[in-house]
């Protein structure tokens, strides 16, 4: 197992049909802000085959406390209300899980 002590956020997002451009535009602005607060977007994926309109993110974060801290800071960002409105329009469902690598994982 890797000595990586980071935690990861696995985020599953189901978008509203026809609203992916709204989501992508807002997330493209918000992701660098989260990275400024210590998060690292390991990968953002959409399926070629499978559940249409799904988006999957894996973020590396320093700790569970870092998640709460970064989200509080993002909520106070000057563009937060606009991002929130875009996400309210484009996200049907979201599941966020704080996870850690397994013993057999080759962490990114």
Mean pLDDT of 23-45: 95
Q: Are 9 and 94 spatial neighbours (Cβ–Cβ below 8 Å)?
A: no
* pLDDT score of 67 more than 90: no
Alpha carbon separation from 103 to 2, 28, 59, 106 (Å, rounded): 8, 33, 19, 9
Model pTM score: 0.87
Query: Which of 14, 5, 7 has its CA nearest to residue 39?
Result: 7
Domain-wise residue ranges, the chain:
7-98
Q: Which residues contact 84 (CB under 8 A, 6 or more apart)?
A: none
CATH topology for 7-98? Alpha-Beta Plaits (3.30.70)
Read off the pLDDT of each residue in 42-46 and give the average, rounded to a whole number: 96
Task: Name the nearest CA neighbour of 15 among 71, 88, 79, 81.
Answer: 88
């Amino acid at each position: 197992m890797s000595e990586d002590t980071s935690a990861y956020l696995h985020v599953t997002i189901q978008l509203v049909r026809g609203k992916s451009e709204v989501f992508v535009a807002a997330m493209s602005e918000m992701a660098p802000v989260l990275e400024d607060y210590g998060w690292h977007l390991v990968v953002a994926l959409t399926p070629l085959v499978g559940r249409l309109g799904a988006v999957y993110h894996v973020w590396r974060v320093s700790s569970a406390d870092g998640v709460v801290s970064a989200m509080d800071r993002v909520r106070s960002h000057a563009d937060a209300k606009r991002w929130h409105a875009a996400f309210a329009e484009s996200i049907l469902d979201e599941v966020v899980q704080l996870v850690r690598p397994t013993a057999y994982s080759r962490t990114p």
